[in-house]
Amino acid sequence: MLVTSATPKSSLRATALARRDDLSPEARSAGSAAIAEGAIALLAPLHFDCVSGFLPIRSECDPGPILTHARSKGAAIALPAFLDPVTMVFRRYRDGDALVAAGFGTREPHADAPAVQPDVMLVPLAAFDRSGSRIGYGKGHYDRTIAAMRKAGHRPLLIGLAFSVQEVDRIPAETHDVRLDWLVSDSEVLDFRDHAA
């Protein structure tokens, strides 16, 4: 399927996710390891107090090794949590903390865990392009949460994590879409800071 700028986001999402789902378990494991290696190298020279990640669902890459590395540098770790169906926050997560069932078939920190503002956000996605645009899973949780952080004066470094098969030619950006600062795939690290809005 030729993916053009006129292709609706739902089609781009479906195509990219199908390609990701088609990766063999071996390719997914090797790709996740390469993504972790690239992200750890990217983070190595940076100072940060809190890194948010995510628990992988379906065929997503596993950010676990990146979070372990960040924790070894003294950073707090945060995971997304939902206050209601549309409001996402990040709650501190420590090894061994209990997790509770959440939407999307994943788990989140308990409501008693403190809400935090990450300096670095590892962002899951369905598709990306070379301008730093991303397509999520269609609910806008990350876009809304990042926009609210920015409105409050907090601008975390946004690092998308994806397999190279999730790349599409061009994503039609909308005014509410938030661009990534970086994208780490299993084959390269892309710097979008000149494009980020």
pLDDT in tens, 28-74: 999 999 999 999 999 999 999 999 999 999 999 999 999 999 999 99
154-172 pLDDT, tens per residue? 999 999 999 999 999 999 9
Q: Is 141 helix (H, G, I), strand (E, B) or coil?
A: helix
Does 196 score more than 70 pLDDT? no
29 marked ligand binding residue? no
79 marked ligand binding residue? no
Question: What is the sign, positive or negative, of the torsion defined by CA atoms of 168, 170, 173, 179?
Answer: positive
The strand pair at 127-128 and 134-135 is best described as antiparallel
55 marked ligand binding residue? yes
Query: Which superfamily, per CATH, for 9-191?
Result: NagB/RpiA/CoA transferase-like (3.40.50.10420)
Q: How confident is the model at residue 195 (pLDDT cuts 50, 70, 90)?
A: low
Q: In this predicted model, which residue has the larger pLDDT, 174 or 99? A: 99
Does 86 score more than 90 pLDDT? no
43 marked ligand binding residue? no
Bridge partners, 168 (sequence order): none
Q: Is 142 helix (H, G, I), strand (E, B) or coil?
A: helix
**pTM (2 decimals)?**
0.92
154 marked ligand binding residue? no
140 marked ligand binding residue? yes
The three state secondary structure string of 92-138 is EECCCCCEEECHHHCEEECCCCCECCCCEEEECCCEECCCCCEECCC
183 marked ligand binding residue? no
Q: What are phi and psi of 191, to 5 degrees?
A: -105, 115
Q: What is the pLDDT of residue 1?
A: 45
The residue-averaged pLDDT of 109-119 equals 96
47 marked ligand binding residue? no
The strand pair at 107-109 and 99-101 is best described as antiparallel
134 marked ligand binding residue? yes
Proportion of the chain above pLDDT 70, given as a percent: 94
Q: What is the pLDDT of residue 3?
A: 47
Q: Domain limits of the chain?
A: 9-191
